[in-house]
A = this chain, B = another copy of it.
Amino acid sequence: MNLQEIYEEKKRELAQIERALACAIHTDHDMLRKTSNHLLEAGGKRMRPVFVLLAGSFGSYEFEQLQKVAVALELIHMATLVHDDVIDNAETRRGRKTVKEEWDNRVAMYTGDYILACALKELTALGEYPVQERLATAMVRMCLGEIAQIEDLFSEELSLKKYLHRIKRKTALLMATSCQLGAMVSDVPPALERAVTAYGYYVGMAFQLTDDVLDFMGDEKTLGKPAGSDLEQGNVTLPVIYALNQGSEEVRQAIFTYLRSKGESGSLKEILDMIRTSGGIEYTMDLSRRYMDKAFSCLEKLPATAERESLQMIAEFILRRSY
């Protein structure tokens, strides 16, 4: 079973969410409609909406409410991506030009702000305070994570602990929140809500760890962006941290020099090769697998439904994914 087949089961709901997303950001304004549609059409795995639907299935499933949560979450995710592309100076994402590249930074900034405002509108229409509160808190923490990441750019002293804290706020938090809000809206019993939220958290951690590995392994075609982008931007991920701590003296010196010069000294290509052969990739994948095992344990606390099966399949897909 691949991701497509899992999604197939929720096909009708996901198509409806896709339309709701389009509606939520629809505007008569010409340029903004273009930038927003550009983002929508670039697609994405829509994992957050899927998590909302699947988590919601363990309670009294009310599609209307779940859809509002799913749309708000996906919009927040989209807005984050547009702003990230400005910061990372990214030219492509998912194989398409980014908004900042096709238009400019200005447009990307306000497109992001606009989508955030649309998300907020969706959320107010939902009218469930605890859900709103949870999401607002998650957003604050995500922003804190983004700021922390800026401070750690080109840092040669990043610890495993700090790295894990960073990817938690960057990715795991919104995935956990997606599961939790789906559960909250559907009045899923507390023990199950906790289990499915923890699942989202562990899957999110594993997802980001894999993502950080893929940046070393893929090429522009499979990744939709050039390989090695992270390090080029100064984003020090676990394979780099591992090589910095466990690599040979030569490897360590090369990476130190690269980071200290903020990427000005040393060949990125050679350093990427060094990191690839340092064992950091295997170490990171192993950690990803351990998070995934924790995610599987969480699933055992849920009733054995088709949706639990789907959550399991998604986790397996994430471990095996190459995009």
Contacts and interface: CB of A to CB of B under 8 A. Distances in A.
Nearest to A137: B121
Contacts of A86: 105, 109
B148 A120 contact: no
Contacts of A105: 86, 105
A124 B116 contact: no
Copies of chain A in the complex: 2
B143 A113 contact: yes
A19 interface: no
Contact of A118 (B83, B140, B147): B140
A127 interface: yes
Interface stretch (A1-9, A24-32, A204-212, A306-314): A24-32
Contacts of A148: 29
Contacts of A133: 121, 124-125
A140 B24 CA distance: 11
Contacts of A111: 147
A160 interface: no
A136 interface: yes
A121 B123 CA distance: 12
A140 B124 contact: no
Task: Give the interface residue-count category, chain A.
Answer: 35 or more
B146 A110 contact: yes
Interface in A107-164: 107, 109-114, 116-118, 120-121, 123-125, 127, 129, 132-133, 136-137, 139-140, 142-144, 146-148, 150-151
A27 B137 CA distance: 13
A321 interface: no
A19 B289 CA distance: 46
B32 A110 contact: no
Given A120-B136, A121-B137, A113 B151 contact: no
Given A29-B148, A105-B105, A114-B140, 15 more contacts: A31-B147, A32-B147, A83-B113, A107-B147, A107-B150, A110-B150, A113-B143, A117-B142, A120-B120, A120-B123, A121-B137, A121-B140, A123-B136, A124-B136, A127-B129
For the complex of A and B, 4 pairs with smallest distance between CB atoms: A114-B143, A124-B132, A117-B139, A121-B136
